[in-house]
């Protein structure tokens, strides 16, 4: 069941969206907003026939996560440069962009700040607070905001910026996770939001398989034996035939599943919509719904558990003491998503008791991980400082996705990639 906070956020979002749509009389936007899924307390906006409007907001893009048109980008599989050759004649609307980031820490944004933008797109200003953007910019009617995790207190600054410039129609987050932005104030705003999902998944998937092999092949023991100059043989395990459970079967989860399948592993996935009607879902041998009983069942069946769920109101502490009590003896737990999704105390208890063979952790509740955190002392824990997707070009590529893929779609009034549910938080 969704929390009362999320329900209230969704209701405010729908009411504001319906209000905006009903006041429209000069632009082409949907005439109605259908509220879907009320019985399960989940909400989405679905567009129907267009009418003219005078509202500063438009909804030419699919916002319903269940829609067949709901599209996600994947760096390895998606078509690159589909709109690379557009000309001024193809432009159906202008993109007037504000970049919300730290100007002193934005080398990765060079494609936006210094590069060549698509026809019809203009960068108006760069700043790290709403106050940095001059009131005079209102005359230019900015309609796009690019927001970077480098922006200090972005959760505060973005809603303030949207309030200051009500002409904004689209917000794009440079990262895949938007937990650094999510708040009641953002959920209540009307601009469409997208993110950089699909840019970071392959690196995390590679790490997941390394971490599985780290424990299967006894790498910790090899390191100890090398230090002791001990030539002692021992049995190792195969990954082939083992079961991998994936908690949060989004882009990262699917990337992990693809590699794990090549190793001959069985895939069990947990996701909000437990269906197997696409090629990605057919990678899974079993798909469970996103409820506590299903999570506990996945934990009990899996030899390796990969948590790649986003941090939201509903996922906080989702992998809790009950889940670790249900875990299969000798399982290995990997967290690639967000630290807040996991009850760290319950996980540490399972690691110390031997219930868990080991854990590979790239994310934590508190980062940097404090020196007095008990995880540092556990020999069966592999710790990485939230950098297993941090290649030398990863954030540059995320900005290039915005400039080269989504921005041309915006000026051509085509459907944007990677729409985000601001209420759900992903």
Note if 172 is an active site residue: no
Beta bridge mates, 287: 269
Hey, how many other C-beta atoms are within 10 angstroms of the C-beta on 23? Answer: 11
Note if 367 is an active site residue: yes
Give the integer Cα–Cα distance in Å for 162 and 281. 37
Note if 396 is an active site residue: no
Is 342 in contact with 319 (CB distance < 8 Å)?
Answer: yes
Q: What angle do helix axes 201-216 and 251-262 make, rounded to 10 degrees?
A: 50
Residue with tokens 């893929």: 405
- From the candidates 27, 75, 338, 409, which is the catalytic residue? 338
- From the candidates 41, 386, 397, 414, which is the catalytic residue? 386
DSSP secondary structure letter of residue 264? T
- From the candidates 76, 77, 345, 367, which is the catalytic residue? 367
Task: Give the residue from 299, 202, 315, 201 showing the smallest Cα distance to 246.
Answer: 299
List, by residue number, the catalytic residues: 338, 367, 386
């Amino acid at each position: 069941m969704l929390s009362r906070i999320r329900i209230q956020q969704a209701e405010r979002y729908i009411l504001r969206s319906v209000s905006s749509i009903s006041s429209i009389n000069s632009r082409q936007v949907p005439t109605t907003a259908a509220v879907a899924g009320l019985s399960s307390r989940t909400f989405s906006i679905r567009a129907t026939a267009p009418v003219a409007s005078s509202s500063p907001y438009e909804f030419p893009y699919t916002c319903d996560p269940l829609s067949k048109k709901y599209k996600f980008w994947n760096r390895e599989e998606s078509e690159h440069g589909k709109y690379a050759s557009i000309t001024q004649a193809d432009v159906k609307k202008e993109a007037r962009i504000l970049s919300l980031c730290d100007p002193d820490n934005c080398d990765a944004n060079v494609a936006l700040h210094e590069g060549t933008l698509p026809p019809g797109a203009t960068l108006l200003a760069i700043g790290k607070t709403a106050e940095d953007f001059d009131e005079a910019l209102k005359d230019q009617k900015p309609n796009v905001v690019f927001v970077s995790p480098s922006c200090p207190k972005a959760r505060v600054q973005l809603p303030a910026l949207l309030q200051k410039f009500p002409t904004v129609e689209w917000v794009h987050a440079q990262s895949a996770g938007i937990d650094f932005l999510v708040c009641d104030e953002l959920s209540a705003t009307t601009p469409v939001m997208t993110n950089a999902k699909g840019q970071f998944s392959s690196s995390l998937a590679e790490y997941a398989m390394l971490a599985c092999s780290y424990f299967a092949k006894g790498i910790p023991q090899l390191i100890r034996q090398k230090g002791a100059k001990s030539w002692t043989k021992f049995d190792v395990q195969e990954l082939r035939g083992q079961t991998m459970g994936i908690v949060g079967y989004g882009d990262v989860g699917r990337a992990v599943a693809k590699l794990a399948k090549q190793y001959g592993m069985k895939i069990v996935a947990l996701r909000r919509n437990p269906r197997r009607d696409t090629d990605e879902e057919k990678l899974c041998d079993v798909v469970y719904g996103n409820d506590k009983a299903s999570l506990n069942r996945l934990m009990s069946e899996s030899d390796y558990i990969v948590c790649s769920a986003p941090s939201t109101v509903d996922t906080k502490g989702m992998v809790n003491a009950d889940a670790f009590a249900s875990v299969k003896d000798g399982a290995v737990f990997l967290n690639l998503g967000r630290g807040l999704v996991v009850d760290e105390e319950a996980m540490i208890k399972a690691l110390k008791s031997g219930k868990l063979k080991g854990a590979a952790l790239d994310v934590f509740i508190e980062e940097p991980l404090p020196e007095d955190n008990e995880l540092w002392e556990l020999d069966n824990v592999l710790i990485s400082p939230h950098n297993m997707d941090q290649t030398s070009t990863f954030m540059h590529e995320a900005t290039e996705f915005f400039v080269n893929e989504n921005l041309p779609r915006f000026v051509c009034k085509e459907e944007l990639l990677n729409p985000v549910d601001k209420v759900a938080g992903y």
